């Protein structure tokens, strides 16, 4: 199984530097490591001293031990879009007698907001499933948009389920359903007019989504570290991102404090991020060795002992969400039909409830010591 | 007319600090200024010393002159999504006898990648059209994803035009067109089965897109400044973003170099960003006055004398694109059917050609002194 490490934090706090040191540390421990750069631009290549390509290539840092190296890749959305467009066209051609998209070349398509994230998610999924790497170190934007990306797996799943129901319940669907069979019969080369929701492709997407949701909730498959300095704004922004990560069920496994010179002072971070473990990192001047930074990092691939973002107690019919950093007034809980929705800090998520609680009514909620405790009737 | 100022640059180079100083400077000059914070989290509020809300509120900096103040707002995607969802439902209810979406509450919807950007674009459009502000100072992520957002107006327009044609040309469209009239007749309360592409709503969207495209290309309506420090990685990343901005036709009006202490050294920036004007900014310690930083900023709302991202010479049938920072080998030019596509630095855009050149074949191209010069037959 591949473990994905990702880093959250205000820009300029040294996330990319930490990502390189992490890749170095884990590779010297014998792990097969892939460092993935999601941000466009030369910054990570300059830090590595090697220009990264769109396919993984081996990196040996100047001061790395004999034989220790890792792979690194720069995600390029334009290339990924072309490749995925070809796959989509092939899939379409298998099912439609007269495909829509064959006339459109991938090379014509420009990249609009959101695409980078979905292409990156898919690339990370493919690298994970290749089983060539023990650890993937992900150097992304590290802000709310990183959390939107990891949260998208559950978000999209919800849209699919919800709008499938809306569509099936609609008068429109009932009006056109007599027409649907002949149309699908005419365009689906299989000739089968079976229920599109039960086709094998739909089910394979559903199983992919289930795997993705499990991944986000399992700190042995995906975990984040918050990177900060001792600057008050950087700590506040880091604390916000820590809280926001909980909402999508992503475990923040620890805090890494970069020094702006000498050794980092962790006093403010210790206080802001309790009970998470806080590691002080030494300042690394440009061009100097990576080893001391790597040595100062905690064990990044070991089981974590931090509060779980969500815990369920079936016996007492309660769900406990860990939402550090928010005040009671900043958290909103609502229930519309079967969905229980938690909103805080410009994020809104529908809870993934276990079958025993699914569909039951919320009868009470309290906010206590950073935990939102929800009771079901 | 409202001028929008936005800032590009590596994280941690002081973009938010510059945005506040810019809002302060322009408001002391009598301009009606709105500072828009697009990044989630408390960072900008902490710098301002005031917690920002989801609606504009007046900000007076501690050291601002009597009566000088500006408005500021934190964009909150969850709120914006709810408001826009209600508008969409109202629009739908006007046209469909049996609306799809009425059963779905805005408060149920989670935010998936790309939504933040489209919601922010729409909010900025509304603030611009309100005519309440002379200048909007936009504090966004400042990276490639900011450029995706500004570029989205042209990008989405292209998708709409291209796939409309693909759809209309398809066998599928011809197969189902006999069914379309009765279906649309049944669901459109107007009873008209007219061409959906010529409906007033479609045309109003098209005119909005045309206005948006004009805005991105006019530095008196939208311009960017690159913010950097004297750090080599920050300068390289800034140069990449400068080049990338040209590709979407966004003018970078100048370079602002923040000092990490004392006064900024602009030697490296002068060289990297020639021929753009480079301004050296003084270091501002947390909690100290804003005035000296504001004084050091150039005139942010005056006409600019920098190379235009794209210039067209109809007489010689040539188009000149200014693509600083790229090597010849990094730029790819292709023509598929009527579209001329330029790809560089993980961005790909179809040129908006004037009618005189539209649809004509590319007969030659050369790359010279940072300019791509394309000749049409």
Q: HEC string of A65-129?
A: CCCCCEEEEECCHHHHHHHHHHHHHHHHHHHECCCCHHHCCHHHCCCCCCHHHHHHHHHHHHHHH
List helix spans (H) across B106-259: 115-129, 144-169, 171-187, 200-217, 232-247
**pLDDT reading at B339 higher than 90:** no
pLDDT value of residue A84: 87
Average pLDDT, rounded, for chain B:
86
Distance separating the N- and C-terminal Cα atoms of chain A = 38
- Residue contact A172–B151, C-beta within 8 A: no
Which residues 74-113 of chain B have a CB within 8 Å of chain A? 76-78, 96-98, 100-101, 103-105, 107-113
Q: Which residues of B touch A177 (CB under 8 A)?
A: none
- Residue contact A108–B341, C-beta within 8 A: yes
**pLDDT reading at B185 higher than 50:** no
pLDDT value of residue B169: 74
**pLDDT reading at B327 higher than 60:** yes
**pLDDT reading at B203 higher than 80:** no
Whole-number Å distance between alpha carbons of A36 and A52: 10
Q: Mean pLDDT, to the nearest integer, of A193-201?
A: 56
Within B22-158, strands assigned E span: 33-37, 57-59, 70-74, 135-139
Instruction: Give the CA distances from residue A238 to residues A137, A337, B15, B360, in Å, rounded to whole numbers and listed in that order.
Output: 19, 34, 18, 52
> How many percent of chain B have pLDDT more than 70?
88
Q: Which residues of B touch A117 (CB under 8 A)?
A: 113-114
Residue A346, token pair as written in the block: 């410009």
pLDDT band at A191 (very low <50, low <70, confident <90, very high): very low
pLDDT band at A67 (very low <50, low <70, confident <90, very high): low
pLDDT value of residue B222: 96
Contact A261/B at CB under 8 A: no
pLDDT band at A174 (very low <50, low <70, confident <90, very high): low
pLDDT, tens digit (0-9, with 9 covering 90-100), for A121-151: 999 999 999 999 999 999 999 999 999 999 8
Please indicate whether residue B25 or residue A368 has the higher confidence score (pLDDT): B25
Q: Mean pLDDT, to the nearest integer, of B74-99?
A: 81
- Residue contact B166–A104, C-beta within 8 A: yes
pLDDT value of residue A245: 94
pTM: 0.90
Which residues 201-260 of chain B have a CB within 8 Å of chain A? 232-233, 236-237, 240-241, 244
pLDDT value of residue A65: 61
pLDDT band at A193 (very low <50, low <70, confident <90, very high): very low
**pLDDT reading at A223 higher than 60:** yes
pLDDT value of residue A96: 63
Q: Mean pLDDT, to the nearest integer, of A252-260?
A: 95
The strand pair at B278-280 and B339-344 is best described as: unpaired
Which candidate from B41, B100, B144 shows the least CB-CB separation from A170? Answer: B100
pLDDT value of residue B326: 85
The strand pair at A135-139 and A33-37 is best described as: parallel
Q: Mean pLDDT, to the nearest integer, of A333-354?
A: 83
| Contact criterion met (CB below 8 Å) for B273 and B333 | no
**pLDDT reading at A197 higher than 60:** no
pLDDT, tens digit (0-9, with 9 covering 90-100), for A312-330: 999 999 999 999 888 888 8
Average pLDDT, rounded, for chain A:
86
Please indicate whether residue A234 or residue A285 has the higher confidence score (pLDDT): A234
pLDDT value of residue B9: 97
Q: Out of A131-145, A213-227, A340-354, B167-181, pick the least confident.
A: B167-181
Contact A180/B at CB under 8 A: no
Q: Which residues of B touch A339 (CB under 8 A)?
A: 108
Chain A interface disruption, residue of B9, B37, B41, B189, most A CBs within 10 A:
B41
DSSP state of B302: S
- Residue contact B111–A347, C-beta within 8 A: yes
Distance of CA A59 to the CA centre of its chain: 25
pLDDT band at A185 (very low <50, low <70, confident <90, very high): very low
Whole-number Å distance between alpha carbons of A143 and B79: 19
Residue A209, token pair as written in the block: 């989504």
pLDDT value of residue A177: 59
pLDDT, tens digit (0-9, with 9 covering 90-100), for B42-71: 999 999 999 999 999 999 887 766 556 999
Q: Out of A129-138, A139-148, B109-118, B203-212, pick the least confident.
A: B203-212
Contact B171/A at CB under 8 A: yes
Please indicate whether residue A187 or residue A56 has the higher confidence score (pLDDT): A56
Chain B interface disruption, residue of A10, A37, A41, A283, most B CBs within 10 A:
A41
pLDDT, tens digit (0-9, with 9 covering 90-100), for A72-109: 999 999 999 988 888 888 877 766 666 667 777 777 78
Whole-number Å distance between alpha carbons of B373 and B310: 10
Query: What ipTM was assigned to the predicted interfaces of this complex?
Result: 0.88
Q: Mean pLDDT, to the nearest integer, of B257-274?
A: 91
Please indicate whether residue A211 or residue B235 has the higher confidence score (pLDDT): B235
| Contact criterion met (CB below 8 Å) for A270 and A278 | yes
pLDDT band at B193 (very low <50, low <70, confident <90, very high): very low
Q: Which residue bears the tokens 């300029």?
A: A12
Question: B365 CB contacts (<8 Å, ≥6 apart)?
Answer: B333, B372, B373, B374, B375
A108, A114, A118, A121: CA torsion to nearest 10:
130
3-state secondary structure of B120: helix
pLDDT value of residue B229: 96
């Amino acid at each position: 199984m591949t473990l994905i490490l990702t880093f959250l934090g205000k820009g300029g706090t040294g996330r990319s530097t930490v990502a390189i040191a992490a890749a170095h540390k884990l590779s010297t421990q014998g792990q097969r490591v892939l460092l993935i750069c999601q941000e466009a631009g030369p910054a990570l290549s300059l830090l590595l001293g090697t220009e990264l390509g769109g396919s993984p290539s081996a990196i040996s840092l100047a001061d790395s031990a004999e034989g220790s190296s890792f792979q690194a890749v720069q995600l390029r959305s334009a290339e990924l879009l072309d490749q995925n467009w070809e796959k989509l066209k092939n899939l379409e051609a298998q099912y439609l007698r007269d495909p829509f998209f064959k006339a459109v070349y991938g090379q014509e398509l420009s990249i609009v907001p959101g695409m980078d994230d979905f292409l990156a998610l898919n690339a990370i999924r493919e690298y994970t499933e290749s089983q060539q790497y023990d650890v993937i170190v992900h150097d992304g934007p590290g802000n709310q948009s990183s959390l939107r990306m990891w949260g998208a797996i559950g978000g999209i799943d919800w849209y699919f389920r919800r709008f499938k129901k809306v569509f099936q319940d609609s008068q429109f669907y009932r009006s056109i359903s007599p027409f649907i069979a002949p149309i699908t019969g005419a365009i689906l080369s299989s000739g089968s007019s079976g229920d599109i929701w039960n086709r094998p492709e739909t089910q394979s997407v559903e199983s992919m989504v289930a795997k993705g949701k499990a991944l986000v909730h399992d700190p042995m498959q995906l975990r984040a570290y918050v990177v900060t300095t001792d600057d008050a704004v950087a700590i506040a922004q880091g604390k916000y991102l820590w809280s926001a990560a909980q909402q999508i069920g992503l475990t923040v496994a620890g805090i890494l404090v970069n020094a702006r010179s000498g050794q980092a002072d962790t006093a403010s971070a210790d206080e802001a991020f309790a009970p998470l473990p806080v590691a002080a990192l030494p300042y690394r001047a440009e061009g100097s060795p990576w080893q001391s930074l790597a040595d100062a990092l905690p064990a990044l691939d070991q089981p974590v002992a931090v509060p779980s973002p969500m815990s369920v107690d079936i016996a007492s019919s309660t769900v406990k969400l860990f939402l550090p950093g928010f005040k009671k007034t900043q958290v909103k809980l609502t229930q519309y039909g079967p969905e229980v929705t938690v909103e805080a800090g410009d994020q809104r998520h529908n809870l993934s409830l276990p079958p025993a609680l699914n569909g039951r009514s919320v009868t009470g909620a309290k906010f206590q010591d950073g935990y939102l405790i929800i009771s079901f009737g």
